[in-house]
Amino acid sequence: PAARFTLDSAFAVGSVNPRLYGSFVEHMGRCVYTGIYEPGHPAADAEGLRQDVLELVRELGVTTVRYPGGNFVSGYRWEDSVGPREERPARLDLAWKSTETNEFGLGEFMDFCGKTGMEPMMAVNLGTRGVEDAVRLLEYSNHPGGTELSELRAAHGDKEPYGIRMWCLGNEMDGPWQTGHKTPEEYGRLAAETARAMRQVDPGLELVACGSSSSSMPTFASWEATVLQATYDLVDYVSLHAYYEEIDGDRDSFLASAVDMEHFIESVVATCDHVRARLKAKKHINLSFDEWNVWYQKRPNPHAVEEWQQAPRLLEDVYTVTDAVVFGSLLIALLRHADRVTSASLAQLVNVIAPIMTEPGGPAWRQTTFYPFAQASAYGRGTVLRVEVDSPTYATARFGDVPLLHATAVTDDENGDITVFAVNRSQTDALPLEIDLRGVDAGVVVEHLVLADGDPEATNTADRTDRVTPHAATGTTLTEGVLHAELEPLSWNMIRLT
Ligand code: AHR
């Protein structure tokens, strides 16, 4: 049987905040060093930024970029990373047992943002540091001049303030692995004090409080409630982090990962609104899904890594077509909640669980997951329409019966064009799709692009960078207001209508 849904512009979920297409650069593994920054590489510019990588970042359509961590930020000393390079100290990075040379720092990061048109989303260290240091970093970054730290920035070559608007108040402070891990009461108090002081410098900042590092944490939901009770008036967002992987060969459950992600989002929305009701507050707290991806955490690192190396090979997951389909489904989950998820960061951007890979001195290329992200960022802008799917289901061990179709639709606010993003979770069968377009003004199929492959394990590698690319579907028609398509087994699809 076919899967079906109806589109009607009268039923909107909400506007897509461009920040939904954010990513994340952490000082970790080879994300920075030999990822975005490699002086001496043939493609490096005068500042050491790899132009081949920057081009791919632009093509990917990344809007915001979270920095400098991640777990790294909980030991971050920003002042080590500014000023003349030869005077910057090398330090132990406790989070990843690596050596941080600080050759690439805050100024270089801002240069990277400027050259790619990305908005910076800066994190402050609430692990080993606190209020005073956060305010000092803010003064260095954003104050126009006439003070010690703003003049120091100018002396370092950046006269104009950076104007960083979004700030994360620490990272994963609920996790026992985090340097400076805290109870929700301790963190809530520190986050509130830090937020209050930062707002004394600039009331217009947008601040993100740490939520749980995953929905499986024992403190999940009570952490959010306690932290928000302490910070409600002072922050704009609470963060969510989630990573998915295939466990014990259970691909059917893996393909349904977005069921878990949507449940997670809805649970955090409910928690935010519970605190709102308790405090009789007017404003809503929005969600910053500032780490999400497929990540094979249970697989051992295939590279021998000695401790305290600079830029070792960490988390260099190579993504298959199957991973890209799950990844696309996670994007669909974010879009389906665009009313409350108004910021998100794909973790991470280059080499470390990333859509872009590089070899030192060698090429840069697109992983399979590059394509769903680039397509969604290019065409998933405007207003998300409500999609109620009527779909055949399949059985999963983790989530029970799950619809084979996972889908969302976005309408362009300027011209009314519609883009449908859809995943067929069946590993074996094509899925006929019918979309009733009775409530939207679209009569022509512009294109139907598919990411699927006869080999669901196919990947892109340095030797064969274009083994997997999207292809055009055949047989997609639109007649008398009904779209008919056939979704290939295990596929990610983008169908554009005008
Ligand atoms: O993205 C990799 C790591 O995952 C981040 O440093 C941390 O915040 C999370 O646990």
For 268-294, how does the pLDDT look when each residue is reduced to its tens digit (9 = 90+)?
Answer: 999 999 999 999 999 999 999 999 999
State the helix-helix crossing angle for 257-279 and 222-231, rounded to 10 degrees. Answer: 40
**Predicted ipTM > 0.95:** yes
List the one residue out of 239, 251, 266, 308 whose CA is nearest residue 490: 251
Task: Work out which ligand 1 atom sits closest to the CA atom of 28.
Answer: 6
pLDDT exceeds cutoff 90 at 304: no
Residue matched to tokens 């929905």: 215
Global pTM reads: 0.98
Interval 422-459: pLDDT, tens: 999 999 999 999 999 999 999 899 999 999 999 999 99
- 26 pocket-lining for ligand 1 (C-beta < 6 Å): yes
C-alpha dist (Å) from residue 50 to 43, 59, 85, 246, 361: 5, 14, 18, 33, 10
CATH code given to domain 17-379: 3.20.20.80
69 lines ligand 1 (CB under 6 A): yes
Which ligand 1 atom is nearest residue 95's CA? 6
Residue identifier of the C-alpha nearest atom 2 of ligand 1: 70
159-212 pLDDT, tens digit per residue, is 999 999 999 999 999 999 999 999 999 999 999 999 999 999 999 999 999 999
Distance 197 CA to ligand 1 centre (A): 27
Count of Cβ atoms closer than 10 Å to residue 42 Cβ: 10
- Residues 477-492 pLDDT 10s: 999 999 999 999 999 9
pLDDT digits (tens, 9 = 90+) for 56-83: 999 999 999 999 999 999 999 999 999 9
Residue 93 Cβ inside 6 Å of ligand 1? The answer reads no
* Encoded amino acid at 460, one letter: N
Tokens coding 410 = 């976005």
Q: Give the pLDDT band of residue 235 (cuts 50, 70, 90).
A: very high
Kindly give the distance from the C-alpha atom of residue 64 to the centroid of ligand 1, in angstroms, as a whole number.
17
Cα 217 to Cα 267: distance, rounded to the nearest angstrom:
13
CA 12 / ligand 1 centre spacing (Å): 33
Q: Can you tell me the distance from the alpha carbon of 342 to that of 17, in angstroms, rounded to the nearest whole number? A: 5
Helix (H, G, I), strand (E, B) or coil at 81: helix
Domain with CATH 2.60.40.1180 in the chain: 3-9+386-497
Q: Which CATH fold topology does 3-9+386-497 show?
A: Immunoglobulin-like (2.60.40)
Atom of ligand 1 nearest to the CA of 315: 2
E-strand ranges in 275-417 read 286-294, 341-347, 356-358, 364-366, 383-385, 393-396, 400-403, 405-411
Judge if the beta carbon of residue 348 lies within 6 A of ligand 1. yes
Is the CB of 323 within 6 Å of ligand 1?
A: no
Q: Model confidence over 113-128: pLDDT tens digits?
A: 999 999 999 999 999 9
pLDDT band (50, 70, 90) for residue 140: very high
- Helix, strand and coil content of the chain, in percent to the nearest 5, comes to 30, 25, 45
3-state secondary structure of 246: coil
The confidence score (pLDDT) of residue 289 equals 98
Residues assigned a catalytic role: 172, 291
The pLDDT assigned to 132 comes to 98
Q: Measured from the CB, is residue 290 less than 6 Å from ligand 1?
A: no
Please state, as a whole number, how many other Cβ atoms lie within 10 Å of the Cβ of residue 415. 9
- Atom 7 (ligand 1): residue with closest C-alpha? 70
Ligand 1, atom 5: closest residue by C-alpha:
70
Nearest ligand 1 atom to the CA of 71 is 6
- Length of the chain equals 498
Q: Is the pLDDT of residue 300 over 90?
A: no
| Token representation of residue 97 | 């047992």
For residues 309 and 256, is the Cβ–Cβ distance under 8 A? no
- Nearest Cα residue to atom 6 of ligand 1: 70
* Amino acid present at 414: E
Q: Is 239 exposed, middle or buried (0-12, 13-18, 19+ CB in 10 A)?
A: buried
Cβ(29) – ligand 1 distance below 6 Å? no
pLDDT digits (tens, 9 = 90+) for 81-106: 999 999 999 999 999 999 999 999 99
CA distance 255 to 407: 14
- What does the alpha-carbon distance between residue 480 and residue 279 come to, in Å, rounded to a whole number? 51
Tell me: the pLDDT tens digits for 5-29?
Answer: 999 999 999 999 999 999 999 999 9
Domain with CATH 3.20.20.80 in the chain: 17-379
pLDDT of residue 116: 98
Nearest CA to ligand 1 atom 4: 70
- Residue 74 near ligand 1, beta carbon < 6 Å: no
Pairing of β 482-487 and β 477-479: antiparallel
**Atom 9 (ligand 1) nearest CA:** 70
Q: Which atom of ligand 1 is closest in space to residue 293's alpha carbon?
A: 1
Determine the pLDDT at residue 308. Answer: 96
